[in-house]
């Protein structure tokens, strides 16, 4: 039996300390009491589990997994499950806190949670991945549920994994529980529009930000780092609206054409070849080079901490839209703000996924499902309202968009906590 432990983190900063420092700065700005800060800067529950899994060669590997609940003052916890070789408990805690603020900013009746397994999913067969997912579900089964904590996809997971979690949970309950996870396939209670939701929400935010500057999406030059679900769909959506997608990348590297890429062709090439190697009509670039390209909008849609103090002064984009969670470090945030770069923070820019997850949860509880046009219209209403509220705070207080978003979100969670009172 082999035990697979968490590797040293690739992150330059501890994400949990980064999340807590962001909270402390906002607490001082909006006069949150020390007692309230003591509550908000800690996670309600952190669980680490071992996940023994039978491999194809008959051996057993033991993976490490986590499930963290940050806060439930506004409702049951909500947050994705990440499969990645660099997952850590501190990263999971930070992501759960960011989910709390994200849900509050969007006005959803959820608190924040997150889960993760230390695994490189591409190195496992589908059967190994299914066995590992089902065992992980069994280990956290008493922590999740439609009124308690509702998982969803994240990096390295998707509808397939959510189907396995839904089935494992339902088999243990003895009946189908549609609301236990979101991001499920349509055949078993998923919502139309969920797959594209995070990207579509980011596109709405980019549209609104450009309008504030007197521009439309059409004709704007966009560089997108990350070509998973979020980056790929954001490229397709913005290209369809007339934007020029000048660069895209995956974990191995990217492609660049200053006159704009054929996004549909890039998607097909990536699907067929599993990389951008050999793509015609573009030059190869690194992920580091993509971040400092001459463009109007930069959308980091991969992992955390890619825009740092080392490269923030080289970013040429006028708008940075955080399609990923935490891609801009606090040091880089300050540099970009001083340079006049508008940063659309993750709790606003990539909240479309949790909004449509909320829709899926509601539809599952009611067992009544909406048309895709209804889903997208409701998503547009919620995201544009949240953008407008954040922009108003940004202008009235003369603070960054991140500070404005946090001020609103933290204030709402603090208010809910005060209203509920302290038990016992």
Catalytic residues: 114
Question: What is the four-CA torsion angle of 213, 205, 336, 287, rounded to 10 degrees?
Answer: -120
Q: How many Å apart are CA 90 and CA 95, to the nearest integer? A: 9
Query: By three-state DSSP, how is residue 97 classified?
Result: helix
Look at the block and give the residue holding tokens 């704009």: 260
> Cα 224 vs. chain centroid, distance in angstroms?
15
Q: Which residue has the tokens 């978003």?
A: 405
Please spell the DSSP secondary structure of 342-366, one letter per residue: EEE-HHHHTTHHHHHHHHHHHHHHH
Q: Which residues are registered as beta bridge partners of 50?
A: 64
Positive or negative, the Cα torsion across 328, 346, 152, 270? Answer: negative
CB atoms within 10 A of CB 402: 25
SS3 37: helix
Structure tokens at 119: 């695994």
Q: What is the DSSP-derived secondary structure letter of residue 75? A: S
Of 389, 396, 390, 414, which is closest to residue 31 (Cα–Cα)? 414
Q: Is 266 within 8 Å of 189 (Cβ atoms)? A: no
Report which of 412, 8, 364 is spatially closest to residue 189, judged by C-alpha positions. 364
């Amino acid at each position: 039996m082999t035990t697979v432990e968490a590797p040293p983190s690739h992150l330059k900063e501890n994400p949990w300390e980064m999340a807590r420092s962001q909270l402390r700065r906002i607490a001082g700005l909006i006069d949150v009491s020390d007692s309230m800060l003591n509550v908000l800067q800690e996670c309600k529950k952190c669980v680490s589990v071992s996940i023994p899994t039978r491999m194809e060669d008959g051996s057993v590997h033991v993976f490490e997994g986590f499930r963290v609940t940050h806060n439930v003052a506004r409702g049951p916890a909500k947050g994705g499950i990440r499969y990645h070789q660099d997952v850590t408990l501190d990263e999971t805690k930070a992501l759960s806190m960011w989910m709390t603020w994200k849900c509050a900013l969007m006005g959803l009746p959820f608190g924040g949670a997150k889960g993760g397994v230390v695994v490189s999913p591409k190195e496992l067969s589908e059967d190994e991945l299914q066995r590992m997912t089902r065992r992980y579900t069994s280990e956290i089964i008493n922590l999740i549920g439609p009124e308690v904590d509702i998982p969803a996809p994240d990096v390295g997971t998707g509808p397939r994994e959510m189907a396995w979690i839904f089935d494992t949970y339902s088999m243990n309950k003895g009946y189908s529980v549609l609301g236990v996870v979101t991001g499920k396939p349509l055949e078993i209670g998923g919502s139309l529009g969920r797959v594209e939701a995070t990207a579509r929400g980011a596109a709405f935010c980019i549209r609104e930000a450009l309008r504030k500057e007197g521009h439309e999406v059409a004709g704007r030059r966009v560089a997108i780092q990350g070509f998973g679900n979020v980056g790929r769909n954001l490229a397709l959506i913005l290209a369809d609206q007339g934007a020029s997608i000048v660069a895209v990348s995956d974990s191995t590297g990217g492609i660049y054409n200053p006159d704009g890429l054929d996004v549909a062709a890039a998607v097909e090439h990536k699907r067929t070849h599993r990389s951008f190697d050999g793509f015609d009509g573009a030059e190869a670039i690194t992920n580091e080079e993509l971040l400092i390209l001459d463009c109007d909008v930069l959308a980091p849609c991969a992992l955390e901490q890619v825009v740092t103090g080392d490269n923030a002064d080289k970013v040429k984009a006028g708008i940075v839209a955080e399609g990923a969670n935490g891609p801009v470090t606090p040091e880089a945030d300050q540099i970009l703000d001083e340079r006049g770069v508008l940063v659309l923070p993750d709790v606003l820019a990539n909240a479309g996924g949790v909004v449509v997850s909320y829709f899926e949860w509601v539809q599952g509880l009611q067992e009544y499902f909406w048309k895709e046009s209804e889903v997208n219209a409701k998503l547009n209403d919620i995201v544009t309202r949240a953008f407008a509220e954040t922009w108003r705070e940004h202008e009235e207080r003369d603070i960054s968009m991140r500070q404005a978003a946090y001020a609103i979100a933290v204030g709402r969670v603090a208010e809910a906590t005060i209203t509920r009172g302290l038990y016992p």
